A and B are shown apart, each in its own frame.
Chain A
């Protein structure tokens, strides 16, 4: 268990290649860590290699960042001495921005990306809630395109300060 916490902490240092202020833990992409230390508690003392499985989930089905995240997890754990590591990608339950940590949302806003609002559970809401401009704080903003520089973002413009910005859309 101590080993699992350590591996989790290491994996949690890996950042999203597209949004480098967010770790995969902040994003809710890091789902689970399993460590099999070998046969019995003294496996490590007998020089057995712990078998590590890390589970991540893609934000969107076609998200190409998953490959980069997998490589980064492998190299991070390799540097810490974990040689037998498998990174599994899981699709279910489907990722949602509700898994993003509050810390992650604060980091996003400081980085200039408007963070996602909670999705709620009542199905789709046709009403667009005001997205706050991460630069001037105005709610007087407009969606330019629902699709942005990556699958997870929409393109907005602030009608007060005139700056365009990315919004990490609630999903």
Chain B
């Protein structure tokens, strides 16, 4: 029996993937799992950063908004990591809590410290536009699990784009102080943008399954500079950072983030509440 007239083609979620792996089904090839791991890490680490804002945002509505966005990202991370882990007999928690810095594959942009609110909004603008472009393409992946996660995530990421675009305008066109601080936020995050579009070793050789990051530069460049200009701000002219997140190289700030994210489960294995 089904709800309304819509058929359910395939069943995909963290729990379903986990169960099907027990039955020996739907296990991704190692290369697909490594690609999914990078996508999961991007969403997980940005979710953790956004969670740090709760109770610290400039206004209550922003506590709620950044918390909601982080929760969406955490949902994406759970799906990607469960799928990736199924190739190696690992669960989402094994991957989130029991890997060390060099084993994470997230881009460095997502681990950048929150800074002030404008820094976070600049990071959100770059991240959301990137995710929007990525998931839009990933919905036609030849891997049905990746396509399903992307289709679900895309609807949510559209809200995240709106949220950051509105704030960039508001701060850029607001007071002299908000304008200066928004520009400083863009300048601080800009060096980490380039890495998003560099060739990704985990996407190589997965034609039709993975989205080559180089293809995402164009949609990013069609959106972000226009948003910045509309807000009366400047597109930064700052050299790119060294990058290397997809190869397990991270900035100093990342270790501190992991320490906070992992301490409880490592000190009290099996704790529940």
Contacts and interface: CB of A to CB of B under 8 A. Distances in A.
A119 to B, nearest CB: 10
A161 interface: no
B13 A32 contact: no
Contact of A61 (B10, B75, B158, B162): B75
B3 A151 contact: no
Interface stretch (B64-72, B213-221, B226-234): B64-72
A36 to B, nearest CB: 13
Nearest to B162: A146
Contacts of A111: none
Contact of A91 (B65, B67, B73, B152): B152
B16 A89 contact: yes
Interface stretch (A23-31, A40-48, A75-83, A134-142): A23-31
- With most chain B CB atoms within 10 A of its CB, the pick from A32, A64, A92, A145 is A92
B184 interface: no
Contacts of A64: 71
Contacts of A17: none
Interface string B1-35: 11110101111111110010000000000000000
B61 A92 contact: no
Contacts of A86: 19
B159 A61 contact: no
For chain A, which range describes its interface: under 10, 10 to 19, 20 to 34, or 35 or more residues? 35 or more
A61 B12 contact: no
Contacts of A34: 1
A36 B10 CA distance: 19
B72 A148 contact: no
Interface residues of B, number: 41
A147 to B, nearest CB: 4
A50 interface: no
Given A58-B75, A155-B61, A147 B16 contact: no
B107 interface: no
Given A94-B151, A146-B159, A147-B65, 10 more contacts: A5-B1, A31-B8, A34-B1, A61-B74, A62-B71, A88-B15, A88-B16, A89-B15, A90-B16, A151-B71
Contacts of A93: 6, 8-9, 151
Nearest to B62: A145
8 contacts: A61-B75, A61-B152, A62-B71, A90-B13, A90-B16, A92-B12, A144-B61, A146-B162
A155 B12 CA distance: 31
Nearest to A8: B1
A68 interface: no
B3 A28 contact: yes
B153 interface: yes
B198 interface: no
Interface string B87-100: 00000000000000
B11 A55 contact: yes
Contacts of A107: none
Contacts of A30: 3
B14 to A, nearest CB: 7
A15 interface: no
Contacts of A62: 71-76, 78
